[in-house]
Amino acid sequence: MDLDPGLAALRPLGGFFLLHTVPPKPGSPPLPTLADAYADTVPGTDADGAINPRPRPTPHPPHPHNPLTFRVRKVAAALRAPEPRVAASVAHQGLAARLWSVTLGCAALYGRVPDLAPRLLRWDPDASAPDDLWLTGVRPLPGDAATAAGVVLRDHIAPLTAAVHARYRVATGLLWGNAASALAGAGRELDRWARLAGRPDTAERARALTAGLLAHPLLAGTGTLTAARDGIAFRRRSCCLYYRVPGSGVCGDCCFPRPPAPSRSSPLTHPSPDAPSG
């Protein structure tokens, strides 16, 4: 089935899966694109052209009005985050969850995915969660796992991860764990919705796509995916740092069974830039 201009099939799935395709009202201030958010840092490539998640050094500091910088500050204020990298990790995972949800939802329901090129995807960094996204034009692409990986991992997660690591020194292993956790969460919600809606074919496609994408070289080793009686179960090898937010605990897929105690010598306090967890 071809993608319809309004991506109407995504509406019953809830806010994380929705994608605006109707232009804002005339006179509304222009929203930045996700290309603007990633502009200060770009990922490198290996000699064979594969994505290298290590960022190139930025010649200039990020612009103070960069939408990603604005979003991290907004998240920090909302959560009362004790340090910027906690808010940066939460913001990173929230945006990853939106991108995976839209892409998986379209792939499972339509058999096609929209072109989500960063220059085509506008973002309101001042909106509440889930992140508010608007696609300026619906151009269909194949709905297979390889295409989905290009749309999300290559075009978004790699430059987003590079930017967050460069600006906030969040460990890259932690950030790729965020990407895997967001993918597994989107797959789990889509699978649950499809089974409740009596659409076993959609549920099966959601599970297969999720498993295939988690096997991608950039996500392999970030956690363990298992089949559960109620759908998809995932346990990541890293921690997103959310437990450091006042009054919070560990997430359901965290590598820690309970919040770790602070330690002066712990890598959670003084992380290596490329440590597998934060």
What's the pLDDT at 49? 32
- 169 touches 86 (CB < 8 A): no
Q: What is the C-alpha separation between 75 and 261, in angstroms, rounded?
A: 24
Q: Is residue 39 part of a domain?
A: yes
Measured CA distances, 260 to 173, 180, 211, 250 (Å) = 18, 22, 29, 9
The total domain count for the chain is 1
Amino acid letter, 108: A
Q: Would you give the DSSP letter of residue 262? A: P
What's the pLDDT at 164? 97
Q: State residue 126 phi and psi, 5-degree precision.
A: -95, 0
CA dihedral 254, 259, 261, 263 (to 10 degrees): 40
- Please state the separation of Cα 1 from the chain's center in Å: 26
Q: Is residue 112 part of a domain?
A: yes
What's the pLDDT at 40? 66
């649950």: which residue's tokens?
192
Q: What is the C-alpha separation between 91 and 72, in angstroms, rounded?
A: 6
Measured CA distances, 233 to 73, 137, 223, 254, 266 (Å) = 32, 34, 10, 12, 28
Q: Is residue 222 part of a domain?
A: yes
- 94 touches 130 (CB < 8 A): yes
Amino acid letter, 86: V
What's the pLDDT at 262? 63
- 85 touches 170 (CB < 8 A): yes
Q: Would you give the DSSP letter of residue 241? A: S
Q: Is residue 30 part of a domain?
A: yes
Point out the residues of the chain with pLDDT beneath 50.
Answer: 42-64, 263-278
Q: Is residue 271 part of a domain?
A: no
Q: Is residue 278 part of a domain?
A: no
Residue 111 CB neighbours (<10 A): 15
Q: What domain range is 206 assigned to?
A: 8-244
Q: What is the C-alpha separation between 94 and 253, in angstroms, rounded?
A: 15
Q: Is residue 25 part of a domain?
A: yes
Q: Is residue 265 part of a domain?
A: no
Q: Would you give the DSSP letter of residue 150? A: I
Q: pLDDT by residue (tens digit) across 82-137?
A: 999 999 999 999 999 999 999 999 999 999 999 999 999 999 999 988 999 999 99
Q: Which two tokens stand for residue 80?
A: 């009362």
What's the pLDDT at 23? 77
Q: What is the C-alpha separation between 80 and 173, in angstroms, rounded?
A: 24
